[in-house]
Amino acid sequence: MQTDNYIETSLELHLFFGRIMKEHSLFLRAGFTPADPTFSNRAEFFKQEFERLLSRAVAMSCGVVRKAVACSGEIVTEFTAAAEQQTEAFTGIAINQEITERELRLCEGCRPQSGNADLRGQVRQLNRRALELLDGLIRFKERILERVLHCEMFTMNYPLLIDHILREAKLYRQYVEALEKDGHLTDQSMQEVDCFWNRIMMEHALFIRGLLDPTEGELIQSADDFAAQYGKLLEACNRAQEQTMQTASLDETVKFRDFKRAGTEGIEQCKIRSVILPLLADHVLREANHYIRLLSE
């Protein structure tokens, strides 16, 4: 199927970020207490709506998205299916696991749907729906963070984690808005990409450190070391040359990806003591894979 950059980039964006947003919604819902049923219901709404958006994106992506993206480990990993099953069992929150099966087939290779002549129009509708949902989800996250910081709400999610997922939602929205305005993503130096994702990786390390059981001393130290290394990369971000920064970030993120992969496997097999949901472990692994692809291209 012949396509253009607008279609390809839009779908690749939704395959990665659409799943990230639906999982953010799940993590938010899982962290609320019985005192906040309205917030739990709202989080469930966003989870379901982003599942619908992701399902539509998957249906349009066969034969359109690049194999390098479909097989990068940023959309799904070898752990995602089991992580969803375990997380649904632990939380009681339903997860549409059929989407994951279909996403795995994107890497294996699949035939484009026939009778899909107006793919550009369908992608435009998808982008507009994504913007609507993101506007609502961003406001929702901002409201949660404000209430937590003013001691009006308790949640099991760190305030920094809420701020962290808010920044990711804003980046997703920025990209979709650029596609709708210009038909392509706005030019963004690799230095800006490094600064954003090095901060995300640093915070992942901090979250992992804080969610591990206190008896997991060696893993806590490793997470602390990664946080310190990304802190140094972040400090150097604005003064380093792009190529030098990119090489240093790639080297560190490959190591961190391997740490996350081992952690995801250990959590799924109940070999690591923590309060980390299996899907959260897989979630941060996928984000590392995404960053590695960006650095490698």
What is the arithmetic mean of pLDDT over 1-30?
89
Tell me the fold of 1-185: Ferritin (1.20.1260)
Q: How far is CA 89 from CA 33, 40, 158, in A?
A: 18, 17, 23
- CB count, 10 Å around CB of 269? 10
Measured distance CA(222)–CA(17) in Å, rounded: 28
3-state secondary structure 153-216: CCECCCHHHHHHHHHHHHHHHHHHHHHHHHCCCCCCCHHHHHHHHHHHHHHHHHHHHHHECCCC
Given this structure, which CATH class describes domain 188-297?
mainly alpha
Residue 190 has pLDDT above 70, yes or no: yes
At residue 117, the pLDDT reads: 65
Residue 13 has pLDDT above 90, yes or no: yes
Task: Indicate the pLDDT class of residue 4, thresholds 50, 70 and 90.
Answer: low
- Give the pair of three-digit tokens for residue 245: 């920064």
At residue 245, the pLDDT reads: 81
At residue 185, the pLDDT reads: 84
Which class for 275: exposed (0-12), middle (13-18), buried (19 or more C-beta within 10 A)?
A: exposed
Task: Indicate the pLDDT class of residue 237, thresholds 50, 70 and 90.
Answer: confident
Average pLDDT over all residues of the chain: 94
Q: How far is CA 241 from CA 116, 234, 238, 288, 291, in A?
A: 45, 13, 8, 22, 18
Q: What are the residue ranges of CATH 1.20.1260.120 in the chain? A: 1-185, 188-297
**Model pLDDT for residues 106-134, shown as the tens digit of each residue:** 988 766 665 556 899 999 999 999 999 99
Residue 97 has pLDDT above 80, yes or no: yes
Task: Please indicate, yes or no, whether the overall pTM of this predicted structure exceeds 0.85.
Answer: yes
